[in-house]
């Protein structure tokens, strides 16, 4: 995989900082104020020289590691979420299905394609 | 009639498990629920006869095996302890069965689920009605297997697979203790019957402390006490009814039941009793601190269970077996209520379990809110609710033992923390402005009657069981005489904890400070004191290394191979080669051999 560009690194840091900030804040109104402050911090340094920007990125990553949430929110349907992989339909070649199971399997596949 | 209590759940498990496709989802639900209702009815009659009429019953069903040194029969011993456990198991199981018919609706494997639940109930009944340790061990292992199957119910989930295996392996650690304890008991006393052992325990056996500590090891594993507790939070991977039945009300209390049942043995070992108190107190405190910072609704309740089990074990350490049994009974009701209410809330909000994405459910699901509030207040020990009667008594009894003051203070601080996380749970889930996702929030509505009716019944239990139960479970317990100030400490701590939670979340948080972010203690508590990390890094890793390098490479593939098959075959080959070399076909070789032997023979006989 190709290495990420500087811009990609910065946007990823910003994105995950926002997510972890919401995990800390819980309340969206409280999070909103903190998120604006975070945005200001990123905007303040958006036109700096590349060598300084690299240093700032490193500092930002270090700060993120220090302040990240130990148990960030994961959506139930996302990987590692509480509903992830629940009742996955089996691959059709594995099982010989009864008509009821076939109906259920078709329903699940149909639902999954929506 | 007494035998019916054993067979009804088994019959329903067999029919639902083997002919689930024939009877269908609804049929499986109805059949298993009906069998458990009948089972509960029999349990009520047993409770009436044994507890109120004082008619303890012993039934020998058949002789299991009999050789000269040991006779083990398969029998039922139904005394006060068994009858209370029976009513707890069947009541919670009945309500969980009914609840499951609503909660699991839409799942493609409901008959299998109901069969597992019934099988678990059967094995739990085997455990609590057995009259000897060997029979108890069948139930003990059986409920472990059912726990594995139910945690892994959604078997396509890797996390569920991992959690189930973890539960199984950690429990095996404790089970080794029970097996060794049984071997020692057999060596010391020549029997495994409860009644005989309680009579013989008056004699001074040299290994009594070892027996008790090994039994405690089993209890630590099964009841998720400090050290072997790591499986319980992970076991929340199973469906919520499973968490309510197995990981709150019944199976996890089997360890406490084992200690209570082995009370006459523990009484002969003061050292073992002290260890029991220390482990219980530390577990209560540890789990309460961890529960304070959990975000998963079910994990908060799971750590709360761990903490309450700590109270039960702690009071066993000061010989308060009846009080422990009483708290076990009370806890079963309010904890089952909490789990089932949590399940109802999770169900309502689109299977979201994280409390940070809940809130505002108070008006949307009022029955669930009232249920969880009653359960939480009972757990906090709010005056005249079920939890109050046992929790306060435990702390008062502990206070009476001045030499273990630390246990009292750990218990009291745990009460404060319990109140804190209970109020936090109620506030974040129901009272604060909603933080739910739009898609989840749009479909929020109160659950079906199959879910709300069990909640209402358990809510009544969480209010009245303590008041009613104390008359027959605590009839032989004298309430200790302590100063009023001391009596008030747990209550004041609970009020303080609840108020502190509300103050932090209602007053401090909205002022724009993310006050938790700077606290270094938060990740420590959130990760359960880094216990998993420490155990994995320092214990499991070294055990794996030892297993690979020593057990596997040096012993299995080295020593045993050299001494065993490989060595024997090599020696045989070498020997046969040498012997075959003797047959050279040259006459003077044979003559030389013959002469040598003759000379040797003459020399030896001369």
pLDDT digits (tens, 9 = 90+) for B108-166: 899 999 999 999 999 999 999 999 999 999 999 999 999 999 999 999 999 999 999 99
Average pLDDT over chain B, rounded to an integer = 92
If you average pLDDT over residues B232-239, what whole number do you get?
94
Tally Cβ neighbours within 10 Å of residue B494.
29
Distance from CA of B107 to the nearest CA of A (A): 8
Is A23 touching B (CB cutoff 8 A)?
yes
Q: What share of chain A is helix, strand, coil (3-state, %, to 5)?
A: 60, 0, 40
β-sheet bridge partners, residue B66: B71
Boundaries of every domain in chain B: 270-520, 527-563, 566-606
Tell if the CB–CB gap between B512 and A30 is shorter than 8 Å: yes
Q: In this complex, which of B294, B435, B523 lies closest to A27 when CB atoms are compared?
A: B435
Which of the four pLDDT bands, split at 50, 70 and 90, describes residue B473?
Answer: confident
pLDDT in tens, B424-433: 999 999 999 9
Q: Which residues of B touch A74 (CB under 8 A)?
A: 354
Chain A's closest residue to B107, CA to CA, is A87
What is the C-alpha to C-alpha distance for residues B495 and B452, in angstroms, rounded to an integer? 29
Which of the four pLDDT bands, split at 50, 70 and 90, describes residue B580?
Answer: confident
Q: In this complex, which of B351, B512, B522 lies closest to A33 when CB atoms are compared?
A: B512
pLDDT at residue B163, rounded to an integer:
96
> Six-digit token pair at B221?
């594993």
Residue with the bigger pLDDT between B378 and B481: it is B378
pLDDT at residue B198, rounded to an integer:
87
Q: B78 pLDDT exceeds 60?
A: yes
Chain A's closest residue to B295, CA to CA, is A71
Distances B42 to A53, A101, B83, B257, B454 between C-alpha atoms, Å? 75, 38, 10, 21, 20
pLDDT in tens, B540-560: 899 999 999 999 999 998 899
What is the C-alpha to C-alpha distance for residues B576 and B110, in angstroms, rounded to an integer? 65
β-sheet bridge partners, residue B193: B132
pLDDT in tens, B499-528: 999 998 888 887 765 666 767 888 999 999
pLDDT in tens, B149-165: 999 999 999 999 999 99
Which pTM does this prediction carry? 0.90
pLDDT at residue B549, rounded to an integer:
93
pLDDT in tens, A11-70: 999 999 999 999 988 888 889 988 999 999 999 998 899 999 999 999 999 999 988 999
Closest Cα partner for B317 from B283, B282, B273?
A: B273
pLDDT in tens, B258-315: 999 999 999 999 999 999 999 999 999 999 999 999 999 999 999 999 999 999 999 9
- Global ipTM: 0.84
Tell if the CB–CB gap between B351 and A34 is shorter than 8 Å: no
Residue with the bigger pLDDT between B441 and B36: it is B36
Q: B341 pLDDT exceeds 90?
A: yes
The mean-pLDDT minimum among A51-60, B90-99, B597-606 falls in: B597-606
Which ranges of B503-564 would DSSP assign to H, the alpha helix? Answer: 521-526, 531-534, 541-546, 560-563
pLDDT at residue B203, rounded to an integer:
67
Contacts of residue A100, defined as CB under 8 A and 6 or more positions apart, other chains included, come to B21
pLDDT at residue A113, rounded to an integer:
63
Q: Which residues of A touch B354 (CB under 8 A)?
A: 73-74
**C-alpha Rg value of chain A to the nearest Å:** 22
The percent of residues above 70 in pLDDT, for chain B, comes to 98
* C-alpha torsion B577→B579→B583→B589, nearest 10: 120
If you average pLDDT over residues A88-102, what whole number do you get?
80
Q: Report the residue of B434, B517, B524, B527 to disrupt the A interface, i.e. the one with the largest count of A CBs within 10 Å.
A: B517
pLDDT at residue B380, rounded to an integer:
94
The DSSP code for A73 is -
Q: Report the residue of A28, A35, A68, A71 to disrupt the B interface, i.e. the one with the largest count of B CBs within 10 Å.
A: A71
Q: Which residues of B touch A85 (CB under 8 A)?
A: 154, 156-159
Closest Cα partner for B331 from B262, B385, B295?
A: B385
Q: Which residues of A touch B512 (CB under 8 A)?
A: 30, 33
Q: B490 pLDDT exceeds 80?
A: yes
Q: Which residues of B touch A86 (CB under 8 A)?
A: 154, 156-157
Q: B205 pLDDT exceeds 90?
A: no
Q: In this complex, which of A34, A73, A88 lies closest to B156 when CB atoms are compared?
A: A88
Q: B382 pLDDT exceeds 60?
A: yes
> Six-digit token pair at B369?
């809110």
Tell if the CB–CB gap between A28 and B435 is shorter than 8 Å: yes
Tally Cβ neighbours within 10 Å of residue B398.
28
Instruction: Write the DSSP string, A31-60.
Output: HHHHHHHHHHHHHHTTTS-HHHHHHHHHHH
pLDDT in tens, A56-92: 999 999 999 988 999 999 999 999 899 999 988 877 7
pLDDT at residue B366, rounded to an integer:
95
Q: A103 pLDDT exceeds 90?
A: no
pLDDT at residue B513, rounded to an integer:
59
Which of the four pLDDT bands, split at 50, 70 and 90, describes residue B376?
Answer: very high
């Amino acid at each position: 995989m190709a290495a990420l560009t500087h811009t990609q690194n910065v946007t990823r840091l910003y994105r995950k900082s926002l997510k972890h900030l919401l995990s800390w804040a819980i309340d969206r109104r409280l999070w909103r104020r903190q998120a604006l402050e975070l945005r200001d911090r990123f905007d303040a340094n958006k036109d700096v020289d590349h060598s300084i920007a690299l240093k700032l990125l490193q500092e930002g990553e270090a700060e993120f590691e220090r302040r990240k949430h130990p148990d960030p929110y994961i959506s139930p349907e996302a990987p590692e979420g509480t509903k992830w992989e629940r009742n996955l339909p089996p691959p059709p070649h594995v099982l010989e299905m009864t008509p009821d199971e076939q109906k259920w399997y078709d329903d699940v596949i149909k639902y999954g394609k929506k | 009639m007494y035998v019916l209590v054993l067979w009804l759940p088994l019959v329903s498990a067999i029919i639902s498990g083997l002919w689930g496709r024939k009877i269908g989802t609804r049929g499986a639900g109805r059949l298993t629920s009906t069998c458990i209702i009948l089972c509960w009815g029999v349990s009520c009659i047993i409770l009436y006869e044994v507890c109120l009429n004082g008619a303890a019953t012993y039934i020998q069903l058949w002789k299991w095996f009999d050789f000269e040194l040991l006779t083990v029969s398969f029998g039922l011993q139904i005394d006060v302890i068994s009858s209370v456990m029976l009513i707890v198991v069947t009541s919670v199981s009945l309500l969980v069965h009914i609840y499951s018919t609503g909660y699991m609706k839409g799942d493609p494997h409901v008959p299998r689920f109901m069969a597992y639940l019934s099988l678990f109930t059967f094995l739990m009944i085997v455990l609590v009605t057995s009259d000897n340790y060997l029979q108890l061990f069948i139930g003990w292992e059986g409920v472990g297997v059912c726990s594995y199957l139910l945690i892994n119910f959604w078997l396509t989930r890797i996390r569920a697979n991992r959690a189930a295996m973890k539960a199984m392996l950690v429990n095996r650690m404790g089970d080794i203790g029970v097996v060794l304890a049984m071997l020692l008991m057999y060596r010391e006393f020549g029997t495994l019957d409860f009644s005989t052992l309680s009579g013989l325990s008056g004699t001074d056996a040299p290994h009594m402390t070892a027996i008790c500590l090994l039994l405690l090891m089993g209890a630590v594993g099964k009841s998720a006490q400090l050290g072997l507790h790591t499986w319980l939070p992970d076991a929340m991977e199973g469906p919520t009814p499973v968490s309510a039945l197995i990981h709150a009300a019944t199976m996890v209390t089997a360890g406490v039941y084992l200690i209570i049942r082995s009370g006459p043995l523990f009484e002969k070992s003061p050292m073992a009793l002290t260890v029991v108190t220390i482990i219980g107190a530390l577990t209560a405190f540890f789990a309460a601190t961890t529960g304070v910072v959990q975000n998963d609704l079910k994990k908060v309740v799971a750590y709360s269970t761990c903490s309450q089990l700590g109270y039960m074990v702690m009071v066993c350490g000061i010989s308060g077996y009846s009080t422990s049994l009483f708290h076990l009974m009370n806890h079963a009701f309010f904890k089952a209520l909490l789990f089932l209410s949590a399940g109802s809330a999770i169900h309502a909000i689109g299977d979201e379990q994280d409390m940070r994405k809940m809130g505002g459910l108070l008006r949307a699901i009022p029955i669930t809110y009232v249920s969880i509030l009653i359960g939480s207040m009972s757990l906090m020990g709010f005056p005249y609710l079920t939890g109050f009667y046992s929790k306060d008594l435990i702390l008062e009894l502990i206070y009476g033992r001045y030499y273990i003051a630390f246990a009292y203070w750990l218990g009291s601080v745990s009460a404060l923390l319990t109140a804190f996380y209970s109020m936090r749970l109620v506030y974040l889930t129901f009272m604060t402005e909603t933080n739910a996702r739009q898609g989840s929030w749009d479909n929020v509505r109160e659950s079906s009657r199959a879910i709300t009716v069990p909640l209402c019944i358990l809510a009544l239990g969480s209010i009245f069981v303590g008041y009613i139960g104390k008359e027959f479970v605590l009839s032989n317990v004298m309430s200790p005489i302590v100063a009023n100030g001391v009596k008030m400490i747990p209550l004041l701590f609970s009020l303080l904890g609840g108020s502190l939670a509300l103050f932090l979340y209602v007053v401090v948080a909205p002022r724009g400070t993310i006050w938790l972010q700077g606290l270094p203690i938060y990740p420590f508590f959130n990760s359960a004191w880094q216990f998993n990390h420490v155990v994995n890094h320092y214990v499991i890793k070294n055990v794996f290394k030892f297993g690979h390098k020593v057990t596997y490479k040096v012993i299995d593939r080295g020593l045993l191979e050299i001494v065993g098959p490989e060595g024997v075959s090599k020696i045989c080959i070498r020997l046969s080669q040498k012997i075959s070399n003797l047959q050279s076909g040259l006459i003077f070789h044979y003559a030389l051999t013959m002469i040598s032997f003759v000379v040797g023979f003459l020399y030896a006989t001369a």
